[in-house]
Amino acid sequence: MSQEGIAILILIGSFLLMVILRFQISYAVALASLFTLLYLKLPLTTICQQMVKGISSYSLMAVPFFITMGVLMGSGGISERLIALANALVGWMRGGLAMVNVVDSFFFGGISGSAAADTASLGSILIPIMVDQGYDREFSTALTIASSVEGLLVPPSHNMVIYSMAAGGVSVGSLFLAGYLPGALLAGSLMVTVYIITLRRNYPKGDKFNLLHMFKEIARSFWALAAILIVVVGVVAGYFTATESAAIAVIYSLLVSIFIYKGTTWRGVWKALNECVDTLSIVLILISTSSIFGYLLTHLHVPQHAASSLVGITDNPIVLALLINLILLFLGCIMDMAPIILIAVPILLPIANSIGIDPIQFGIIVVLNCGIGLLTPPVGAVLFIGSAVGKVSIERLAKAMIPFYIAMIGTLLLVTFIPEISLWLPSLFMK
Amino acid sequence: MPKIFETIDKFKPIYDKTYAFILFICKILLVADILITSMAVAGRFIPFIPDPAWSEEVVLSLMAYMAVLSAALAIRRDAHIRMTAFDRYLPKKLIVTLDILADIAVLALGVVMITVGWRYAVRIGSRGFYVSMPNLPRFWMYFPVPVAGVAMVIFELESLYNHIKTVFSMKGGKA
């Protein structure tokens, strides 16, 4: 075996071994890189260079800011307002409250950008109400966690910013716009699934549609939804970069939460910052250490080797696209979202490009795959949060998820094979 | 359980205070990042608000410090992402043994980051300066790496101690 082959084996083999041995992934990537550097007799200062380089990206600053914005808005009492808005919009349908659950995640997820926050925040309010109205507990919980994935696609999503970095600087504005239609498609497919189940189980209808009430709720939620507008319009129109818009959105969220919604106080904000630091403590170091790993992947030509190996199996683009999805889904089942994006994207993106998948579309595919992974055993974090919030065992919850898994996989296939779903909006606004 | 654990346990309040202090610093760094970035944006549109040239470099450096310090906090909370999918199928003793192995490896990584990081930061620091602040050596740009090492070592030592203590308590339980 060549020196490069052995180095790749050390890099990927030791990393996988350490992951299996329950090492923290942030440090497993750094250790695997350290072993490889030692084997290749490369200077260990590469660790310092790459760690600092990994974290010294101005675009990356959007990640902590978006997380802070979501936490501030969440603690500022927007959940109830958004539920009321969704109720006014779709509560009148058959299975109205279930529809509210789906639509609400579209709004709330857009603000929080986190499936876990969506499940914990909306689930704790909506699941008990749904159960009181006669919906099965398993169904209510499964729907809550399935719809939470919308938030990963609907902008502003900090995972899109991480993908942008991992993909070598894909436009964050384009990624934001690209997420809207797939997010809406996912919501639509979940609503169709809900409707079918609702008819079979005869779940109740909500109150009659009232136009005046709807406008009233839009007005009540306006200040929360405007945060999304500031970010998306600001970035797309070129007024701000993603990072700048995120910082402005944090200040805006702070003012709305304290002075308009009066859902929190300055003391509450200071406390809420603990939650931001808790989340950032996991994400940022991972980005930093993954940078060394990414450098070595490139140095050892791993993406090219992976591409030629995969193309060696088949050169049919449809089969290759399905294979990429399978790999991402498998990784999603055993790993968390950020490490998959940071580690797998540099390897899989060149393969996706070679079969004509645009980097923007690939970003949506990766995020959706990872989102589905968050809901699958054995490590799906959102599945566990849903199980705790909904008080349903993992086994019963996974069983209730089956129709929603089908809907989500259907959406994933549409997003994979119809590029326009992701690329139409960016092509319209980002010229 | 050996008496030495009782002696070492007396250090726990110091660790609690260190944790609270680092958390406080991280929150200050995050707030500073948000304020400086917002000020720079506002400065572009509002004439009397400054838009300093140093904002981007300072914000990035502050974030680097926040990233490495907060990562050490996550060690204490055992919050770093790891594969725990098969934990329920593994014997508790094996899990603790694997935790100790991981602690030792991360501790070693911390030591490498301290030594290599410090040498690199000093070398680079003597050669270059921040682009927007010609008086500030680039030492501060690379200093987060040894800082990360120190913070990792501090909290990994506690984690290692806790895991060793668990092994002894398991043995005690059996006896």
A53 CB-contact burial (10 Å; exposed 0-12 / middle 13-18 / buried 19+) = middle
The model's pLDDT over B37-81, given as tens digits with 9 standing for 90+, comes to 999 988 888 888 888 888 888 999 999 999 989 988 999 888 887
Q: Give pLDDT, residue A228.
A: 77
Contacts A60 to B, Cβ<8 Å: 63
- Mean per-residue pLDDT, B6-13: 85
Sign of the Cα torsion B27, B28, B29, B34 reads positive
Q: Test B81 with A60 for CB contact under 8 angstroms.
A: no
Q: From CA A99, how far away is CA B158, in angstroms rounded?
A: 48
Q: Is A270 on the interface with B (CB under 8 A)?
A: yes
Q: Give pLDDT, residue A431.
A: 65
The model's pLDDT over B86-142, given as tens digits with 9 standing for 90+, comes to 777 888 889 999 999 999 999 999 999 999 999 988 887 778 888 878 788 888 888
The SS3 of residue A208 is: coil
Which candidate, A62, A426, A45, places its Cα nearest to that of B63?
A62
Nearest-CB residue to B106 (from A27, A57, A336) = A27
The model's pLDDT over A12-30, given as tens digits with 9 standing for 90+, comes to 899 989 988 888 888 898 9
Q: Which residue out of A25, A53, A254, A277 would a mutagenesis test of the B interface target, given it has the greatest number of B Cβ atoms within 10 Å?
A: A277
Q: From CA A332, how far away is CA A341, in angstroms rounded?
A: 10
Q: Give pLDDT, residue A140.
A: 93
Contacts B74 to A, Cβ<8 Å: 278, 281-282, 285
* Phi, psi values for residue A377, rounded to 5°: -70, 155
Q: From CA A374, how far away is CA A171, in angstroms rounded?
A: 25
Q: Is B119 on the interface with A (CB under 8 A)?
A: yes
Contact residues for A118 (Cβ-Cβ < 8 A; gap 6+): A105, A108, A109, A112, A147, A148, A150, A151
Nearest-CB residue to A240 (from B41, B77, B113) = B41
Residues 93-152 of A with CB under 8 A from B: none
Query: Residue A149: in which H helix or E strand, if any?
Result: none
Q: Test A51 with B63 for CB contact under 8 angstroms.
A: no
Half-sphere exposure of B70 (CA within 13 A, CB side): 29
Q: Which residues of chain A have pLDDT under 70?
A: 110, 112, 378-379, 431
Q: How far is B75 from chain A (nearest CA, A)?
A: 9
* Phi, psi values for residue B129, rounded to 5°: -130, 160
Instruction: For residue B175, name the pLDDT band (cuts at 50, 70, 90).
Output: very low
For residues A298 and B52, is the Cβ–Cβ distance under 8 A? no
Q: Give pLDDT, residue B1.
A: 64
pTM of the full predicted structure?
0.80
- Mean per-residue pLDDT, B21-29: 94
Rounded alpha-carbon distances, angstroms, from residue A383 to A113, A121, A369: 17, 14, 15
